[in-house]
Chains A and B, each alone.
Chain A
Amino acid sequence: MEARGAETLRTYEEINEKIKRGDAVVMRADEFVEYAKRYGVEKAAKDVDVVTTGTFGAMCSSGAFINFGHTEPPIKMWRCWLNDVPAYKGLAAVDVYLGATAVSETRGIEYGGGHVIEDLVSGREVELRAEGWPTDCYPRQYVETVITLEEVNQAVLVNPRNAYQRYAAATNSTDRILYTYMGTLLPRYGNVMYSGSGELNPLTKDPGYETIGIGTRIFLGGGIGYVIGEGTQHNPKAGMGTLMVRGDLKQMNAKYLRGATIHRYGSTLYVGVGIPIPLINRRVAETAATPDEEIYTEILDYGVPSRSRPIVRRVSYAELKSGRVEVKGETVRASSMSSLPRALEIAETLKRRIEEGEFTLTRPAELLPTVREFKPLEVKRYEPRVKDVMTKRVISAKPADDVKTVARLIVEHGVDHIPIVRSDGRLVGIVTSWDLARALAEGKQTLSEVMTTKVIVAKPEEAVDVVARRLLQYKISGMPVVDEEYRVLGIVTTDDLAKLVKGRRGAP
């Protein structure tokens, strides 16, 4: 078998010669998919030199290095803000890194690093404020001024992770609306949100990374950029490769670089990335011809707040893009966090730039790795789980029990929550002291008349802080801890959590 990246159909030099002569055949990925369907991959591979791709979506791991130049007298900035958004200052005197997700200290997530980058690219003035660390060589203590993109020495977008090959789609099994980085997720699998442009997605069109690597020239934010390596969390085995990219902010355009705020999540930057895929060999032509119908991702349940969210089902980008997806036997609406129209526009713009000879291709100095482990972070310190803090001795009752008897139980044992269980030990409801007070006042007889049947529960292995958040969310003071069969193992209350805090400080 020929080596990865083998230029058996055409070489980079041959393609660039054709680009310079103005007779390179360039197609957008969606056009190439159609062409290959119609004439077969064999002919498509022969006829077409370059396939252009595009994506425009939220890419949180983005940011810019900026060098402001030196003031008179000079300052060694050790804390710095741009429009009140803190920039990273663990660098030399007037170099900063402004991250897309950093948030304004005055406006919160409504305005973040992504918005500052958009403002700079739009030519707007940005307020620079910095505190100095005065030294003999850098005497100044403080500076406050305004800057523009044009005035600074360098402003370079350097994004550690962009352009995911594909991304998992999201839905929500819980009974409340979730606001996630995948957008608004309606309760009870009410909708599906997805991201990525499917058959237009850069890495999806070259999943063997035969043409993409360090030094690949790309479309980035409207200007020219380069791939500088694999992105963080690059995960080829799962079909989730990523890119690290850089590009000169001064060439970019706010149409393809937009600050964004995702409700109750945070601020980020929408980045436009387009990559030309030269059809150097038959394999690349075949992957470039893959249609949406054959590009799959998973729909995950974001209702489970875990690193490994359960897979609800596998889905093709064709189905996602249709706007209707079947989930748990129901057809629900699906829509995208990233912009498909703009992805298409990027692929089209890149195509035109190549056709007009403005953009030539580069042979990567090193291809992206096809093997890379994607590891989780194991917490090696002790972290309490629900099973460690819950009260194991649970006073429970049966649905048919009478209200007065149970009221007596509450008084005798000094508890506030009584889980109601069936004879097989499974949870069917809960009553609190307040429910019983009301029951007595209203003359109700049995528990089944007054109990809450929709019980918020905890699982024994859950982290304590997740459960604390849930108590706050539902404004309750305790919840039964149940196993997979809904048998009650214990109860966890705000009292149990309070004890934990006390213990942590080492108090008696």
Chain B
Amino acid sequence: MKIKILYTHERVKHPVLSTVILKTGVPLNILEASISPSRGELVVDVPASGDQLKAVIEALKAEGVEVRELGPTIEVDEEKCVLCGACVSPCPTGAITLTMERLEIDEQLCIRCKACVIACPFKALSMASTSWEA
């Protein structure tokens, strides 16, 4: 499960993730981070589900940060995609599978590295960054 964490300027100095990791014992994995003096945004993979996932989200909220669930990471424009495999083997985690009908992206494996976006000769792939913007 991937989530986005938004920091306000009051919380930006706090070791929020470390606190949550120690508290819940879930090894959070940071996929993207942009921290400035006034605010911060992180995309984090939470390798947990059910109650454990709920515990992580509660712990994050207790630290005073905003938590949002991420929708699909990579969007495929089916008009533009010609079903070649230019994006498939360059994916470092093997998250992309090409069938005779479509391109399938495993959200669990995707680490948002954009290797596929770069590799596509038709600009058919894009990072779905706007879907969770406020």
Contact = CB atoms under 8 A, between A and B. Distances in A.
Interface in A173-204: 179, 183-186, 190-193
B81 to A, nearest CB: 9
Interface in B6-50: none
Interface in B68-83: 82-83
Interface stretch (B54-62, B104-112, B116-124, B126-134): B116-124
Contacts, number: 80
**Number of chain A interface residues as a range:** 20 to 34
Interface string A238-277: 0000000000000000000010111100001010000000
A340 interface: yes
Contact of B121 (A58, A185, A323, A341): A58
A74 to B, nearest CB: 39
Contacts of B85: 193, 335-337, 339-340
Given A58-B121, A260-B121, A344-B100, A184 B90 contact: yes
Contact of B90 (A58, A183, A258, A323): A183
B115 to A, nearest CB: 6
A385 interface: no
A193 B84 contact: no
B98 interface: yes
Contacts of B98: 335, 341
B89 A258 contact: no
B86 interface: yes
B94 A333 contact: yes
A340 B89 contact: no
A193 B82 contact: no
B82 A270 contact: yes
A71 B53 CA distance: 70
Nearest to B101: A341
Contact of B83 (A190, A333, A340): A340
Given A340-B83, A341-B101, A342-B82, A335 B88 contact: yes
A336 B119 CA distance: 12
A184 B119 contact: yes
Contacts of A342: 82-84
A184 B121 CA distance: 11
B64 interface: no
B84 A263 contact: no
How would you classify the secondary structure of chain A's contact residues: helix, strand, loop or mixed? strand
Interface in A87-119: none
B89 A191 contact: yes
A337 B83 contact: no
B100 A261 contact: no
Interface in A442-497: none
A268 B121 CA distance: 9
A406 interface: no
A297 interface: no
Interface string A51-79: 00000111000000000000000000000
A339 B90 contact: no
A432 interface: no
A260 B89 contact: no
Q: Chain A CB within 10 Å — which of B86, B91, B94, B118 has the most?
A: B86
A336 B88 CA distance: 8
B84 to A, nearest CB: 4
A79 B101 CA distance: 44
Given A184-B118, A260-B121, A261-B123, A333 B88 contact: yes
Interface of B: 82-92, 94, 98, 100-101, 115, 118-119, 121-123
Given A191-B89, A333-B91, A340-B84, 17 more contacts: A58-B121, A183-B119, A183-B121, A184-B90, A184-B118, A186-B90, A190-B92, A192-B89, A193-B90, A258-B82, A268-B121, A323-B89, A333-B89, A333-B94, A335-B98, A337-B86, A339-B82
